[in-house]
């Protein structure tokens, strides 16, 4: 019978502290990069969405149809209040009717374009700005839906009666039009980031001075 062979004792393996520590550091680094990347990506997407909203609003607000409308409106008022000429008032009123039809089509088209903007729900300042400009254009849409039928009676009813009905609507709707315009500007300022964006908003909501140019030399 031979002697049993005893295997030599194996020292216990030391914990791999160095490797474990490096693994944790790598994981933390990856997480930090992912978070930073998500933040940068979200910020870039926000800026892109803001630029799209500003461009769309500028396209709607700076369309020449607005100037044509306000000039025609001012000329209609002048023909009745200042000149007191029924024939001239009829001519100016019909021109205002044409300008109102054009503006109405523009407002409806702009509302559709605002709704098609790609703005995500978590971009709450942009959602608020988009909703504010939509509210302003909805007020304009409602205003024109009331004034166009009145102006359409020109030539059938007495000019003074038509003007009075039209003027009542203009006065009544003046406050909500101005209020929603101011609300939209405030919402865009809240959504803006940085001085350049603030300058864009300021330019966007600076109203142009227009007046009736009939007879001007």
Euclidean distance between the first and final Cα of the chain, in Å? 133
CA distance 112 to 116: 6
Tell me whether residue 1 is in a domain.
no
Residue 13 is assigned to a structural domain of this protein: no
The number of folded domains in the chain is: 1
Q: 35-44: per-residue pLDDT in tens?
A: 333 333 455 5
Mean pLDDT of 56-82: 95
Closest C-alpha to 72, from 215, 216, 212: 212
pLDDT digits (tens, 9 = 90+) for 96-138: 999 999 999 999 999 999 988 878 767 789 999 999 999 999 9
Dihedral (Cα; 79, 85, 86, 88), 10-degree rounding: -60
Q: How confident is residue 26, by pLDDT bands cut at 50, 70 and 90?
A: very low
* Tokens at 91, concatenated: 């001519």
Q: Within a domain: residue 98?
A: yes
Task: Judge whether 184 lies within some domain.
Answer: yes
- Residues spanned by the domain of 108: 50-204
Does a structural domain hold residue 5?
no
What is the model's pLDDT at position 19? 57
Q: Does 115 fall in a domain?
A: yes
In a domain, 211, yes or no: no
Q: Does residue 42 belong to any structural domain of this protein? A: no
Mean pLDDT of 24-29: 48
Q: What is the pLDDT of residues 99-109, one digit of tens each?
A: 999 999 999 99
Binned at pLDDT 50, 70 and 90, residue 11 comes out as: low
């Amino acid at each position: 019978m031979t002697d049993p062979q005893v295997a030599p004792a194996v020292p216990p393996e030391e914990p791999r502290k160095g490797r474990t520590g490096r693994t944790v550091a790598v994981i933390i680094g990856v997480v930090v990069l992912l978070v930073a990347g998500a933040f940068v990506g979200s910020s870039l997407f926000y800026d892109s969405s803001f630029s799209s909203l500003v461009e769309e609003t500028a396209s709607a607000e700076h369309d020449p149809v607005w100037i044509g409308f306000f000039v025609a409106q001012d000329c209609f008022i002048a023909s009745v209040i200042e000149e007191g000429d029924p024939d001239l008032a009829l001519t100016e009123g019909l021109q205002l009717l044409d300008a109102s039809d054009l503006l109405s089509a523009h407002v409806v088209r702009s509302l559709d374009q605002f709704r098609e903007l790609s703005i995500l729900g978590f971009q709450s300042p942009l959602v608020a700005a988009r909703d504010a400009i939509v509210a302003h254009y909805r007020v304009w849409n409602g205003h024109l839906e009331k004034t166009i039928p009145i102006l359409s009676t020109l030539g059938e009813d007495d000019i003074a009666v038509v003007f009075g009905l039209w003027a009542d609507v203009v006065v009544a709707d003046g406050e909500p039009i101005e209020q929603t315009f101011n609300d939209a500007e405030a919402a865009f300022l809240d959504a803006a980031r940085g001085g350049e964006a603030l300058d864009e908003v300021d330019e966007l909501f600076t109203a142009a001075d227009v007046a009736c140019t009939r007879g001007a030399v």
